[in-house]
């Protein structure tokens, strides 16, 4: 496992030794947890990631030359997905997610609530043969999200690049399957699946918020290095998962309902005009 190099942020004297040991233990894919004075300079320079992103950027910026079949709206969606991927995995936000559980939760919410839908919309012509079941994909996406936020699994992901990659890919793919199934389902079923996910996401957030002790050791020392109590970091993360996360799913359900009502209204107007004719 990689070891931390460089100065360790100052911590309270009684916790200094333990904090140093924790910082040496947890070095996730995004790198060691940065201190407040250096985090803005902490970009992820993984050469494999950069090569993949640059190749995708060429594909997205010059679609005609490479024979892209994407419509302008789908192309815009894919470009947005590329930009968000860059922010999540290359920018200093990636390093900051090593320091705070709160930032990691924001990272995961962006992954399942923004990046996954953007990819589903942008790649939908290529996903037509991807068989998905609405309720199975709903269950799988929820279970995957819960499992990776269990303290043991989470700690493994932040101590191994391979496990971290498995966490990120499973969160993204399960969320893509969920949103693809929602797009294919009728409005009543789609709204039901989104509302079920809303409740279960809120429940996980509530459990994290009201935990009486810190549950995520990878962030203990780094939070203290910033002058933040680990339990405070954890509670804020739970609140973000509980409130903004649930609101985002509710907004999706409302949007589906709004489109459904507009379609029914348009169908009624068309039927009335046909009757008069």
Q: Using N-to-C axis directions, what is the helix angle for 134-148 and 187-209, rounded to 10°?
A: 10
Distance CA 184, CA 190 (A): 8
Considering just the CA atoms, what is the radius of gyration of the chain in Å? 22
Is residue 256 a contact partner of residue 43, using CB atoms and an 8 Å limit?
A: no
Q: 3-class DSSP state for residue 179?
A: helix
pLDDT tens per residue across span 114-144: 999 999 999 888 887 788 999 999 999 999 9
Is residue 86 a contact partner of residue 92, using CB atoms and an 8 Å limit?
A: no
For residue 130, what pLDDT is reported? 85
DSSP helix, strand, coil percent of the chain (3-state; round to 5)? 75, 0, 25
Distance CA 89, CA 95 (A): 9
Distance CA 178, CA 119 (A): 12
Shortest CA distance to 226 belongs to which of 127, 47, 96? Answer: 96
Q: 3-class DSSP state for residue 226?
A: coil
Work out the end-to-end distance of the chain between its first and last CA atoms, rounded to an integer number of angstroms.
76
Percent of the chain surpassing pLDDT 70: 83
Shortest CA distance to 91 belongs to which of 145, 56, 46? Answer: 46
Distance CA 157, CA 166 (A): 8
Distance of CA 153 to the CA centre of its chain: 16
Q: Which residue has the higher pLDDT, 25 or 88?
A: 88
User: Structure pTM?
Assistant: 0.85
Q: 9: pLDDT confidence band, cut at 50, 70 and 90?
A: very low
Q: 273: pLDDT confidence band, cut at 50, 70 and 90?
A: low
Task: Give the angle subtended at the CA of 57 by the CAs of 54 and 60, to the nearest 5°.
Answer: 155
| Secondary structure element (H or E) that encloses residue 263, with its range | helix 230-276
Distance CA 154, CA 188 (A): 35
Q: 10: pLDDT confidence band, cut at 50, 70 and 90?
A: very low
Residues in the chain: 277
Q: 3-class DSSP state for residue 8?
A: coil
């Amino acid at each position: 496992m990689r070891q931390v190099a460089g100065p360790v942020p100052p911590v309270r004297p009684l916790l200094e030794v333990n904090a140093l040991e924790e910082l040496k233990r947890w070095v996730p894919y995004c790198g060691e947890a940065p201190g407040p004075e250096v985090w803005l300079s902490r970009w992820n320079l993984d050469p494999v990631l950069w090569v993949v992103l640059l190749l995708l950027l060429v594909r997205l910026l010059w679609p005609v030359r490479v024979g892209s079949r994407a419509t302008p709206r789908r192309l815009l969606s894919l470009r947005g997905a590329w930009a968000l991927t860059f922010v999540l995995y290359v920018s200093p936000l990636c390093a900051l997610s090593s320091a705070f559980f709160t930032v990691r939760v924001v990272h995961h919410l962006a992954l399942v609530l923004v990046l996954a839908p953007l990819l589903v919309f942008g790649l939908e012509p290529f996903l037509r043969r991807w068989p998905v079941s609405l309720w199975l994909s709903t269950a799988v996406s929820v279970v995957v999200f819960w499992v990776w936020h269990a303290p043991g699994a989470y700690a493994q992901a932040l101590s191994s690049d391979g496990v971290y990659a498995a966490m990120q890919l499973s969160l993204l793919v399960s969320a893509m399957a969920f949103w693809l199934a929602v797009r294919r389902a009728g409005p009543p079923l789609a709204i039901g699946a989104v509302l079920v996910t809303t409740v279960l996401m809120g429940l996980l957030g509530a459990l994290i918020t009201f935990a009486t002790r810190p549950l995520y050791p990878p962030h203990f020392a780094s939070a203290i290095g910033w002058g933040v109590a680990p339990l405070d970091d954890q509670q804020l993360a739970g609140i973000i998962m509980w409130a903004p996360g649930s609101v985002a799913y509710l907004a999706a359900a409302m949007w589906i309902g709004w489109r459904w009502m507009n379609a029914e209204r348009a169908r009624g107007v068309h039927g009335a005009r046909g009757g008069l004719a």
